[in-house]
Amino acid sequence: MPAQRTSDTKPVSVRPGHILAKSDGVSDLMVHAMLFDGEKDRADVTSKTQLKIAHMGPPLGNATKSCDAVGGMELTDEQKLRIKNFITQCKDATKKRDKEYRLRGLEATSKELYVILPSAKPPSGDFAYWRFSCVGFVLKAYEQIPIYLLKGPIPERTLADLKSFYPFFSADLDKADTREHLGIGTGDRWPVELVGYVLHSFARNEADVIAGPYAPQLGDEYFPRQFVSGGAPPKRLFGKQ
Amino acid sequence: MGKTRDKYASTGKTKVKMTKTPLAVKSFGRLRIKLLTIEDEYRKEEVTVRKNYIHDVDGIAANNLSGVYLTPAYSNGLVAEDALTGIRISYEKFGGGYRHCKLTTPFVAASANAMKLKNRHTWKAWVSSKSFRQPPVALTIDAPMAWESKTFDEDDAESEVHFMIYGFAGVGNRKFARQEWALAELPNDLELEHQITWVHDPDSILERLENRALYPDDYAAAVLFAEVKPFRGEQRTRLLAALSGYIDENRFVEDEDSLITLCSAIRKYAMNMQESQFEGYADWLLPTETATLHHEAEMEFAKGICWRLEFEPHSWPAQYPHLTKTLFDLVDSYLTPRLILQKSYANTAMFGIVALHILEAASGSRVELVSKLREKTIGSGVKWFAEMVNDNLDEAVHYISERDDAIGKKIMEIRQG
């Protein structure tokens, strides 16, 4: 199954392990990536269907969400099992920790395990977790089977761009320490992996997906691809096209 | 004691006295009632207030409380975190202005509820009188400041804080069908504490981790907060000692809530432990005659040592025969098609095999355990599992080679037999 948008009326099929995406709600800009974590195939998925998903919310874990786009490929039972195993490995204590923060009248910091660049960061003594962006989480899941979905050069983005791609972090991105924590502390342009890129990777024919990763282009953050959105000026691509 | 005045008498539904207790709030911190003991009697639908006391921790007096009804009014936080015994009422968002509470005491566990009174900055929490099978000796409220932050801002920094404690007779929250009486008024010995920042301060977290008398929920919170903070030098030594004690005592827990905290402790310990602690770590993987690890805890132990070896530097050649043997036995027991598809066993076995490859590479000599497991893995006929092991070994080699190319190559040699 290639990548496709969901609609209110025409149902599409989704299988365990497929990637689901949420848009920003006003355009085709895709801002959140998830994995379908249901037990069975679904053939009735519209943009309103609530599905069991696994994602780096944050926090990392399971939830029930609807989706605006889906992408995936034929997965064998073994591949589904390996993705499931990966999800099992990723259990963490963020939800419980967030609850404790709230009990103390503190802002929940489920974002502490979120990282934008790189999209997946190995554990260390300081952070005894893999840290992910939402995209990093699904890319890492597919590396398990092993399918590599993206390759460089990744278009570089400005801080203003990132605020639209990561609306949940919009305010945080103005803080130097938070940006440092997210991996974009220095510089003014960053090659971040975005949700739309993953969908465009799956939009290729399946043999190409298996054969190798996809090099995203400017505008791939939208699905379908576009270069101008809502009257905003076209985004520039930094680096080689 | 503060002034007392009728507050709700005008409602005509309940007659309650409101105690006004001035307390200057200097900033947003926590207010704590150290320990509250109410020596009153409750009989059926009637409450007789005999005497109200507020004691220090050491001055606990038994009482006959069968139900209680609390109102922290105009508070911006009320916590008795260090209470050695007592009730904790915690609140969670329940929607629609109501909040659900969970109540626990050392004696009983019961449900409780809280409600924000309409147009009042007043929260009431109540528990059924049936909840108390034994009288509590202390009563504390855990009130998230997040609720109050909408009400209070910096302009309120000098606001007075009022607290009321009501006793009630009856069942549930039939607040208009029962009578309420003021039981106690809280004098000015409420303590204002500035403890909020401890969750971000490694030294303060350590102080709590080293205090085993801490209320279990608070201890668990310290473990959780420790996981995402850096500990250096002496701090790390203290952290490991504290976590070691916690893991020792809790490694066989089975309920989901405790497992989350245990797994958090395991991860943090594993990623920070010294090489001299590897062998002792292996002991935690061993069952006793009467208890065995929950499969999630077992996976976390295997993952912990695997990640420690993969992502944190270690010296070599070095041999860890006990750890190696323990991991081998663990993996060996799960490498059958019957078990590998169950629970977390595939992940546990996979992490164990990757760890054993690294351990063998670091040992400087061949111990042949890995080759036995490899043969068994292939012989099991579970192809996807063998592929999963290989892919994770590739990843381990990638990260280890970034630090030490020689060990990376050694792992590749072992893998190829």
Q: How far apart are CA A51 and CA B73, in angstroms?
A: 41
Q: How far apart are CA B402 and CA B91, in angstroms?
A: 47
User: How close A76 gets to chain B, by Cα (Å)?
Assistant: 10
Q: Say if residue B50's pLDDT is above 80.
A: no
Q: ipTM above 0.90?
A: no
Nearest to A217 by CA among A155, A138, A150: A155
**% chain A with pLDDT above 70:** 90
Residue B153, CB-side half-sphere exposure with 13 Å CA sphere: 2
Write the Ramachandran bin of A26: left for phi over 0, alpha for psi from -120 to 50, otherwise beta: alpha
Query: How do residues B254-282 score in pLDDT, each as one tens digit?
Result: 998 899 999 999 999 999 999 999 999 99
Q: How far apart are CA A172 and CA A166, in angstroms?
A: 10
Complete DSSP assignment for B111-173: EEEEEEPTTSSBEEEEE-GGG-SS--S-EEE---HHHHTTT--GGGTT---EEEEEEE-SSTT
Residue-level pLDDT at A239: 38
Residues 6+ apart with CB under 8 A from A221: A29, A30, A165, A194, A195, A196, A197
User: Are the beta carbons of B199 and A81 separated by less than 8 Å?
Assistant: no
User: How close A118 gets to chain B, by Cα (Å)?
Assistant: 15
* Listed range (A201-215, B198-212, B303-317, B360-374) with the worst mean pLDDT: B360-374
Averaged confidence pLDDT in chain B: 63
- The helix/strand/coil state of B9 is helix
Q: Say if residue B33's pLDDT is above 70.
A: no
Averaged confidence pLDDT in chain A: 87
Q: At what angle do helices B256-272 and B216-226 cross, to 10 degrees?
A: 40
On whether any CB of chain B is under 8 Å from the CB of A233, the answer is no
Q: Between vectors from CA B184 to CA B180 and to CA B190, what angle results, nearest 5°?
A: 135
Mean pLDDT of B8-36: 27
- Bridge partners, B53 (sequence order): B37
Nearest residue on chain B to A108, judged by CA atoms? B146
CB B72, CB B61: distance < 8 Å: no
pTM here is 0.70
Q: Which of A78, A88, A105 sits opposite B384 (nearest CB)?
A: A78
Q: Say if residue B297's pLDDT is above 90.
A: yes
Buried b vs exposed e over B239-276: b needs ≥16 C-beta within 10 Å? bbebbbebbeebbbbeeeebbbbbbbbbbbbbbbbebe
User: How close B5 gets to chain A, by Cα (Å)?
Assistant: 30
User: Are the beta carbons of B346 and A85 separated by less than 8 Å?
Assistant: yes
Residues 6+ apart with CB under 8 A from B150: none
Task: Compare A130 and B365 and report the one with higher pLDDT.
Answer: A130
CB pairs under 8 A between A and B: 109
Residue-level pLDDT at B402: 92
